[in-house]
């Protein structure tokens, strides 16, 4: 198997009708059968190249799923209407009434809220831990634990999960390691380092255009078939189905992911090192000062850098509140949640995407109101962007 994710995607060919260079979009919710035997058979098991109904699968969604399986080097994948659709279905498929999840406490706020507020209603308990502390992870595992859940690079504190260490624990206690790789597509391939299941919010880097939401679960064929099972599959029965027109757009955007990731990373690395030189508290795993720099280096696929996310402490809530709109006014990018866009996005996680995490947990990991998260865009002239950021910082009295 080709080792480089960019090469695997480059070599993935799907022709459209009449020899189109892109696959033809299938604009049908249901599909015809020529014999009743075939229709009965597909309710029993999947048949390659045969489609029943779009909530189960359709050709365009299966092309995108195949491309994402190549990205993550997994035997199979299945796309969803959103990242949360993918996270909720994958974890519910693995964990049922009376069972438990051990999750990193620094996960996306929506994931935290799902595990903390919704799953207890189903009698699924979640214990939140410092995922960088393997002893603490192990202590939280009980005979009921089915899933160890983390983000390869955590949101927004940019901690790196020791995937090999977590997989050893998963094997020791018979659990599955589920990894959200939204912050580091191409950069890290978690399946190569022990993850059983890899999830993405496609909304972010993979689509890269901030024009749709989407999600994917990448895993072995057995797990992906289980998600789609007509009687017991959470994807099939909860129904967070991606629209095939959207799938066509995301597949086209994926073709440029390797170039975009390298540029996002280059820009983030430049700004992170400049801000550090100014004496500011910068979190970027590409910096030698980051506690997980060595670990992340050991997990990287060469050529795509350390991703485009930078977290910065601007010393006070008040400065953050002034700086964010000012940077937008001065054309640094957009004051908006989300990430992976071609333009730079910045926001205050504790007041937005991580506000679901209780204040005491946020405080314990240093995610205070003075923390700003940047997702650096594809700026051609990043020195110019840096000058603009510096000017704003001077105006608010940060430097
Ligand atoms: C790391 C991470 N995982 C999952 C999600 C959820 O994805 P979606 O918004 O596509 O449902 C997000 C959204 O911000 C995220 O940042």
pLDDT tens string 202-219 = 999 999 999 999 999 999
Instruction: Evaluate the CA torsion angle 347, 351, 357, 358 in order and state its sign.
Output: positive
Residue with the nearest Cα to atom 8 of ligand 1? 83
Q: Is the pTM value of this prediction over 0.95? A: yes
CA 392 – CA 16 distance, rounded (Å)? 49
Is residue 349 within 6 Å of ligand 1 at its C-beta?
no
Determine the distance separating the centroid of ligand 1 and the alpha carbon of 154, expressed in angstroms: 11
Q: For residue 308, what are its two tokens?
A: 């485009």
pLDDT band of residue 126 (cuts 50, 70, 90) is very high
Of 204, 208, 214, best ligand 1 pocket probe by most atoms within 8 Å of the beta carbon: 204
235 lines ligand 1 (CB under 6 A): no
pLDDT classification of 247: cutoffs 50, 70, 90:
very high
> Residue 67, preceding bond cis, omega within 30 degrees?
no
Coil, strand or helix at 375: strand
For 378-397, write each residue's pLDDT tens digit: 999 999 999 999 999 999 99
- Our answer on whether the CB atom of 215 is closer than 6 Å to any ligand 1 atom is yes
pLDDT tens digits, 80-120 = 999 999 999 999 999 999 999 999 999 999 999 999 999 99
Using alpha carbons only, what angle is made at residue 297 by residues 292 and 302, rounded to the nearest 5 degrees?
150
Strand blocks (E) in 209-338: 215-219, 281-283, 309-313, 334-335
Q: Is 253 in the pocket of ligand 1 (CB under 6 A)?
A: no
Q: Is the pLDDT of residue 62 over 80?
A: yes
pLDDT at 357: 79
Ligand 1 centroid to residue 77 C-alpha, Å: 18
118-to-121, 206, 220, 292, 325 alpha-carbon distances in Å: 6, 28, 27, 32, 34
Rounded Cα distance, 196 and 203, in Å? 22
Residue 181 in contact with ligand 1 by CB distance below 6 A: no
Q: Contact 55/236 with Cβ under 8 angstroms?
A: yes
For ligand 1, is residue 151 a contact (CB within 6 Å)? yes
Is 112 near ligand 1, meaning CB less than 6 Å away? no
What is the secondary structure of 315-356 as a DSSP string? S-HHHHHHHHHHHHHTTS-EE-S----SS-EEE-GGGTTTTT
Of 93, 77, 101, 92, nearest in space to 9 by CA: 77
Measured in angstroms, how far is the CA atom of residue 205 from the centroid of ligand 1? 11
- Ligand 1 near 203 CB (within 6 A): yes
363 pLDDT exceeds 90?
no
Please give the number of the atom of ligand 1 that sits closest to the Cα of 202: 10
């Amino acid at each position: 198997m080709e080792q480089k994710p960019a090469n695997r995607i480059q070599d993935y060919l799907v022709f459209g009708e009449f020899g189109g260079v892109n696959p033809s979009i299938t604009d049908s919710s249901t599909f015809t059968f020529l014999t009743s035997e075939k229709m009965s058979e597909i309710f029993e098991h999947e048949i390659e190249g045969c489609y029943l109904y779009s909530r189960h699968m359709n050709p365009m969604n299966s092309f995108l799923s195949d491309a994402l399986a190549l990205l993550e080097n997994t035997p199979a994948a299945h796309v969803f209407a959103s990242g949360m659709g993918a996270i909720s279905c994958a974890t519910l498929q693995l964990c049922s009434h009376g069972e438990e999840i051990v999750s990193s406490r620094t996960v996306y706020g929506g994931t935290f809220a799902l595990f903390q507020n919704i799953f207890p209603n189903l009698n699924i308990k979640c214990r939140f831990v410092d995922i960088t502390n393997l002893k603490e992870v192990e202590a939280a595992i009980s005979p009921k634990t089915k899933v160890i859940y983390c983000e390869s690079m955590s949101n927004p504190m940019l901690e790196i999960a020791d995937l090999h260490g977590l997989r050893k624990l998963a094997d020791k206690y018979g659990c599955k390691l589920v990894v959200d790789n939204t912050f580091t597509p191409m950069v890290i391939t978690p399946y190569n380092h022990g993850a059983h299941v890899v999830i993405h919010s496609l909304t972010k880097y993979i689509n890269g255009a901030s024009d749709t939401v989407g999600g994917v679960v990448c895993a072995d064929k057995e797990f992906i078939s289980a998600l789609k099972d007509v009687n017991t599959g959470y994807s099939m029965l909860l129904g967070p189905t991606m629209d095939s027109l959207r799938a066509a757009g995301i597949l086209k955007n994926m073709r440029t992911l390797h170039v975009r990731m390298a540029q996002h990373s280059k820009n983030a690395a430049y700004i992170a090192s400049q801000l550090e030189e100014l004496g500011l508290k910068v979190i970027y795993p590409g910096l030698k000062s980051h506690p997980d720099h060595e670990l992340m280096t050991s997990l990287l696929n060469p050529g795509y850098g350390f991703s485009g996310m930078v977290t910065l402490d601007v010393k006070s809530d008040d400065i953050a509140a002034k700086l964010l709109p000012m940077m937008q006014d001065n054309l640094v990018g957009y004051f908006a949640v989300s990430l992976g866009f071609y333009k730079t996005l910045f926001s205050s996680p504790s007041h937005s995407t991580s506000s679901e995490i209780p204040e005491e947990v946020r405080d314990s990991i240093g995610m205070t109101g003075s923390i700003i998260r940047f997702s650096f865009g594809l700026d051609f002239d990043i020195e110019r962007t840096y000058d603009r950021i510096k000017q704003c910082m001077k105006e608010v009295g940060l430097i």
